[in-house]
Structure 1
Amino acid sequence: MSVPRGDREVEVIALRTAAADIVEIELAARGDAALPAWEPGAHIDLILPTGLVRQYSLAGDPASPTWRIGVLREESGRGGSRWIADRLKPGALLRIAGPRNHFTLPGHAVGDAAPLVFIAGGIGITPILPLAAQARAAGRDVTVHYCGHAGRMPFVEELRGLHGSSLVLHISEERARLDVDAVTAEAASRGAEIIVCGPARLHDAVAQAAEERGVVVHGERFEAEPLSAPMWSGPFEVELALTGVTVTVPTDRSILEVAEEAGALVLSSCTEGTCGTCETPVMDGVVDHRDSILTPAQRQRNDTMYVCVSRAACPRLILEL
């Protein structure tokens, strides 16, 4: 797997406890360099000294000269968050790649754009924080629903300062759990769109309730959607246009694996269809999209795919690899 090498080095200038098991990390450019511009919803690849690559949403103000990310320490994870929580110190230097953004604010018009209902669960608040701030600054009608456990919900005071009474907290220990049906019904009555980020069960519940009421949902998943049976059940050919070879992808291997074996350079990271690193232009053929990133409309365009999980829905694809 060709992981992102990291096109710049950043310095850890502060670490703060944002909530139980959640650390807020502030990053700065080195020397006189400036950090790249970014839009709300963007994430970066953090390349740890251990070789692990992890994706974290930028949670601060795009106008700030520094970046903020929030990291949840996950005991059952693959080790990246534990290393950050236990070993990362101020002054440390890290390589990063990005920012990349697959989670931009829907709509552009001010005043006549649809109201927006943001729903965040746990650490899913990190991309929602700047997205909701951007929407409010643009004059959009914004409501933020934030779900979590007492003591484990970062940025609450910052959100209160931005949204006031339009922020609704759903704290499990206070028996104030999110009523998904009620929130989606209200969104439908107002012609609102929903933007959600959080655990898979939250996404699934919101998506089901919204579909029943015809509400448009935009979301970012930190966990991959379960894979269904492929649309094309047998092997298929993939022409790697830039590499100049055609390969056969068997049923038990990914396009990513076979393309790399044939000499194609494909950057990848999560291998689950959630990070977007292996995004590849499609030149011809029909794609069986199996990622957790593209919207239905983007899938319909059939002009890009994530080769770590997506496959062909036909005998042959031509990819810009």
Structure 2
Amino acid sequence: MVDSSGAAELLVAAAEPVAEGVLLLTLADPEERPLAPWTPGAHVDLLLDNGLVRSYSLCGDPADPYRYQVAVLLDPQSRGGSAFVHRELATPGTRVRVGLPRNHFALAPAERYLFVAGGIGITPLLPMIRAAEATRADWRLVYAGRSLAAMAFRDELARSYGEGRVTLAPKLETGRRPDLAALLAEAAAEGRTVYCCGPERMVDAVAAACAGWPEGRLRTERFRAEVSADGSEFEVELARSGLSAKVPDGLSILDALEDAGFAEAAFSCREGTCGSCETRVLAGEPDHRDAVLSEAERETAETMMICVSRARTPHLVLDL
């Protein structure tokens, strides 16, 4: 059953551990109806019964219209999302509401790729690798993790592609992290397009090593944005509804709109990572604080994520 938000009630068809602390869920329609299509890099929201909404990358096969797969890492500092998934959704037959797939990390056509994964950041890259393999692109994967036991899908990767193109870098076993600067210098020389997903430190290091590269040669996805609502007060105006509201220091645009009685803005994660609150900007300059938009998209200032981003100008007009 699909509700007014587009979320569907799906069945946990299978739940299996695929690494230390990582649970792979296979989700299906209870009536075996086809699910909404998706492309590599997409994610879905799980609308949990404890009131939380969490986004997870789809890591299965886009060619399978009847199954979604997500792999969820049990975060030791979980604020209730991953702990709930591991505790309440680990039994086949359990039902969960799942949002429509969205993709802000899409795979662009290229002849050569370098995929860089850190920990659970391997999940959005798996279908990308399969797509690159299907087009016979020249690709390599560097997959770093805390230990081999904690690295999900390592056996599948080795079995499917061998060691020639897949480099595993478990810190516990090797005693070191991969030399990202050297890897990316080589990737630049070979004209590779880089896709990276992992912890903040890894993504920051990759971005620093790729500074000055042509637009589009590096695409990253972060686990979370730098969430901060600090800043000077400004006014936000909603062009279609006619509502205006002050957004003080310490409050997000979304929070301010809700306080003013506006309940029609779409949102999900409230962390600037899922893209569901993306809103068109009609006037004013956004102060982007999300982990979704590329630098080029930020420079155009056509849209913003209102759950975390603020304004650089005293007045901001949104298409709401």
Normalising to structure 2: TM-score of the pair? 0.91
CA distance in structure 2 between the partners assigned to 1:290 and 1:224 by the alignment: 7
Instruction: After TM superposition, give the deviation of residue 105 of structure 1 in Å.
Output: 0.7
Q: Does 1:137 align with 2:134?
A: yes
Aligned 1:148-163 pairs, distance under 5 A? 148=145, 149-163=147-161
Instruction: After TM superposition, give the deviation of residue 33 of structure 1 in Å.
Output: 2.2
Aligned AA (2:95): L
CA contact (8 A) 2:195 2:219 kept: yes
**Equivalent position SS for 1:98:** coil
Q: Which residue of 2 aligns with 1:292?
A: 291
Runs (4+) of structure 1 moved beyond 4 Å?
A: 212-215, 226-230
CA contact (8 A) 2:236 2:244 kept: yes
Q: Which residue of 2 aligns with 1:272?
A: 271
Instruction: After TM superposition, give the deviation of residue 74 of structure 1 in Å.
Output: 1.4
**Equivalent position SS for 2:92:** coil
Q: Does 1:146 align with 2:143?
A: yes
Alignment root-mean-square deviation, CA: 2.0
After superposition, what is the alpha-carbon deviation per residue over 1:131-171, rounded to whole angstroms, capped at 9, x for unaligned? 12112212322111111112011111222244331111111
Aligned AA (1:36): A
Q: Which residue of 1 aligns with 2:75?
A: 74
CA distance in structure 1 between the partners assigned to 2:21 and 2:138 by the alignment: 33
Instruction: After TM superposition, give the deviation of residue 61 of structure 1 in Å.
Output: 0.4
Instruction: After TM superposition, give the deviation of residue 20 of structure 1 in Å.
Output: 0.9
CA distance in structure 2 between the partners assigned to 1:301 and 1:133 by the alignment: 32
Q: Which residue of 2 aligns with 1:256?
A: 254
Q: Which residue of 2 aligns with 1:174?
A: 173
Instruction: After TM superposition, give the deviation of residue 227 of structure 1 in Å.
Output: 5.2
Aligned 1:23-172 pairs, distance under 5 A? 23-64=23-64, 65-88=66-89, 89-106=91-108, 108=109, 113-148=110-145, 149-164=147-162, 165-172=164-171
CA distance in structure 2 between the partners assigned to 1:47 and 1:229 by the alignment: 28
Aligned AA (2:52): L
Instruction: After TM superposition, give the deviation of residue 126 of structure 1 in Å.
Output: 0.5
After superposition, what is the alpha-carbon deviation per residue over 1:180-203, rounded to whole angstroms, capped at 9, x for unaligned? 111011011112121100111111
CA distance in structure 1 between the partners assigned to 2:100 and 2:36 by the alignment: 8
CA contact (8 A) 2:252 2:308 kept: yes
1:34/1:24 CA distance change after superposition, 3 Å? same
Q: Does 1:13 align with 2:13?
A: yes
What percent identity do the matched residue pairs reach? 43
Instruction: After TM superposition, give the deviation of residue 240 of structure 1 in Å.
Output: 0.7
CA distance in structure 2 between the partners assigned to 1:259 and 1:227 by the alignment: 17
